[in-house]
Chain A
Amino acid sequence: MSVPALVALVAIALVGLVSALIGSYGVRMARSTSDFLVASRTVGPVANASAISGEYLSAASFLGIAGLILREGADALWYPIAFVAGYLALLLFVAAPLRRSGAYTVPDFAEVRLASSTLRRLCTAFVLVIGWLYLLPQLQGAGLALTILTGLPTWSGVAAAGAIVLLTVIGGGMRSITFVQAFQYWVKLTAMAVPALVVLGVFLADARSLDRPVPPQFPDETTVQVRTEVVLEVTQPVRLRADGEVDGERVRGALTWDPGRHEVGEGTALTFAGGAPVPTVAGAPTTDRQWLEPMAGDSGTQLLEIYSILLAGFLGTMGLPHVLVRFYTNPDGRTARRTTVIVLGMIGLFYVLVTLVGAMSRLYTPQLLVTGETDAAVLLVPTAVLGQGWAGWLLGGLVAAGAAAAFLATSSGLVVSLAGVLFTDVLRGRWTDFRLAAVLSVVVPLLLALTVTRLDFALTVPLVFAVAASTFCPLLVLGIWWRGLTATGAIAGIAVGGGLSGVAVATSLFAVLPPGWSGVLLYRPAAVTVPAAFLTMIVVSRMTHSAIPPGVDKALLALHAPERLGLSRDPLDRPGAG
Chain B
Amino acid sequence: MPQHPRTGHDEGPTSEVPAPVPANGAPSRTAPAEPATTEAPRADPPPASGPPDATAAPTAPARPVPVQSAPVQSAPTQPPAPQASATTPVRPAAPGRRATPTPPGTPPEAGPDTSAAAPPGAPSGQDRAVPPSTDPESTVRTSSVEGPTAGIRVPEQRGTDKGGDKGGDRGTAAPLPRLDAAQDDQESKRVRVVLAERKGVARPVRTVVDIQEGTGVGELLRTNLIGSQLTVALRFAVVAGLSLGLLPLLFAMVPEIGRIEVLGLRLPWLLLGVLVYPFLLGLGWWHTRTAERVEQNFADHVQD
**What residues make up the interface of A, taking CB atoms closer than 8 Å to B?**
74, 77-78, 81, 84-85, 87-89, 91-93, 96, 211, 292-295, 299, 302-303, 306-307, 310, 314, 331-332, 334-335, 337-338, 340-341, 344-345, 348-349, 351-352, 355-356, 359, 481, 553-554, 556-557, 560-567
Docked-complex contact A92 and B233, CB < 8 angstroms: yes
B236 is contacted by which of A84, A92, A331, A335 (Cβ under 8 Å)? Answer: A92
Give the distance in Å from the alpha carbon of A310 to the alpha carbon of B246 in the complex. Answer: 12
Q: How far is the CA of A243 from the CA of B287 in the complex (A)?
A: 59
Number of interface residues of B (CB under 8 A): 57
Q: Are A341 and B285 in contact (CB under 8 A)?
A: yes
* B window 67-97: CB within 8 A of A: none
B248 within 8 A of A: yes
B266 interfacial by beta-carbon distance below 8 Å? yes
Does B141 belong to the interface (CB within 8 Å)? no
Q: Which of A310, A335, A352 is the one whose CB lies under 8 Å from B245?
A: A310
Q: Given A310-B244, A341-B285, A564 and B11 touching (CB < 8 A)? A: yes
Given contacts A310-B244, A341-B281, contact A91 B5 (CB under 8 A): no
The answer, among A348, A355, A557, A564, for a CB contact under 8 Å with B280, is: A348
Interface string of B244-279 (1 = CB under 8 A from A): 110011011001001100000010110011101110
- Using A295-B251, A567-B212 as known contacts, say yes or no to A560 and B288 having CB atoms under 8 A apart: no
Q: B129 interface residue, CB < 8 Å from A? A: no
**Set B7, B230, B288, B292: member contacting A91, Cβ < 8 A:** B288
**Bound-state Cα–Cα, A569 to B5, Å:** 16
With a CB–CB cut-off of 8 A, which chain B residues contact A344?
277, 280-281, 284-285
CA distance A554 to B209 in the complex (A): 11
User: Inside 8 A of B278's CB, which chain A residues have their CB?
Assistant: 348
- Could you tell me the distance between the alpha carbons of A133 and B268 in the complex, rounded to whole angstroms? 32
Q: Are A74 and B280 in contact (CB under 8 A)?
A: no
Complex Cα distance, B244 from A351, in Å, reads 16
- Say whether chain B's binding surface is mostly helix, strand, loop, or mixed: helix
Is the pair A74, B226 in contact by a Cβ cutoff of 8 Å?
no
Determine the chain B residues whose CB is within 8 A of the CB of A293 once the complex forms: 255, 258-259, 266, 268
Consensus secondary structure, chain A interface: helix
Chain A hits for B217, CB < 8 A: none
Min CB distance A183 to B, Å, is 23
A344→B283 CA distance, assembly (Å): 10
Most A C-beta atoms less than 10 A away, residue of B11, B226, B296? B226
When chains A and B are docked, how far (Å) is the Cα of A72 from the Cα of B273? 14
Task: Give min CB distance, A567 to chain B, whole Å.
Answer: 7
Contacts known (A307-B248, A344-B280, A345-B281); A564 close to B18, Cβ less than 8 A:
yes
Contact of A564 among B8, B212, B222, B272 (CB under 8 A): B8
Complex interface: chain B residues within 8 A of A332 (CB): 18
Q: Are B248 and A88 in contact (CB under 8 A)?
A: no
A341 to B226, CA, bound (A): 21
B187: interface (CB < 8 Å):
no
Given A77-B268, A303-B248, A554-B212 in contact, is the A84-B280 Cβ separation under 8 Å? yes
In contact, B222 and A84 (Cβ under 8 angstroms): no
**Residue contacts A-B, CB under 8 angstroms, 30 given:** A81-B272, A81-B276, A91-B288, A292-B258, A293-B255, A293-B258, A294-B248, A294-B251, A295-B252, A303-B249, A310-B245, A331-B18, A334-B292, A337-B292, A344-B285, A348-B276, A348-B280, A349-B277, A352-B274, A359-B269, A553-B219, A560-B225, A560-B295, A561-B211, A562-B8, A562-B12, A562-B296, A563-B18, A564-B8, A565-B208
Q: For B226, what are the chain A residues with a Cβ–Cβ distance below 8 Å?
A: 481, 556-557, 560
Chain B residue numbers with a CB within 8 Å of A302 are 252
Question: Could you list 9 further interchain pairs (A-B, Cβ under 8 angstroms) beyond the known A292-B258, A332-B18?
Answer: A77-B268, A85-B280, A87-B280, A553-B214, A553-B222, A556-B226, A561-B211, A561-B302, A564-B299
Closest 6 CB pairs between A and B? A348-B277, A564-B8, A77-B272, A293-B258, A294-B251, A566-B4
User: How distant is A339 from chain B, measured CB to nearest CB, in Å?
Assistant: 10
Return chain B residues, CB-CB under 8 Å to A87: 280, 284
Q: Chain B contacts of A303 at CB under 8 A?
A: 248-249, 252
In the bound complex, do residue B4 and residue A307 qualify as a contact, i.e. CB atoms below 8 Å apart? no
* B188 CB within 8 Å of chain A: no
Whether B248 pairs with A554 at a CB distance below 8 angstroms is no
Please indicate the chain A residues that have their CB under 8 angstroms from the CB of B31 in the complex. Answer: none
Docked-complex contact A557 and B299, CB < 8 angstroms? no
Q: Are A88 and B284 in contact (CB under 8 A)?
A: yes
Contacts of B251 in A (CB 8 A): 294-295
Residues of B within 8 A of A560 (CB): 225-226, 229, 295
CB distance from B234 to the nearest CB of A (A): 8
Chain B residue at smallest Cβ distance from A477: B233
Do A84 and B18 touch across chains, with their CB atoms under 8 A apart?
A: no
Contact of A85 among B5, B244, B287, B299 (CB under 8 A): B244
- In the complex, how many angstroms separate the beta carbon of B252 from the nearest chain A beta carbon? 5
Residues of chain A lying within 8 A (CB to CB) of residue B276: 81, 84, 348
From the candidates B4, B287, B288, name the one contacting A565 in the complex (CB within 8 A).
B4
Partner of B268, one of A92, A294, A356, A566: A294
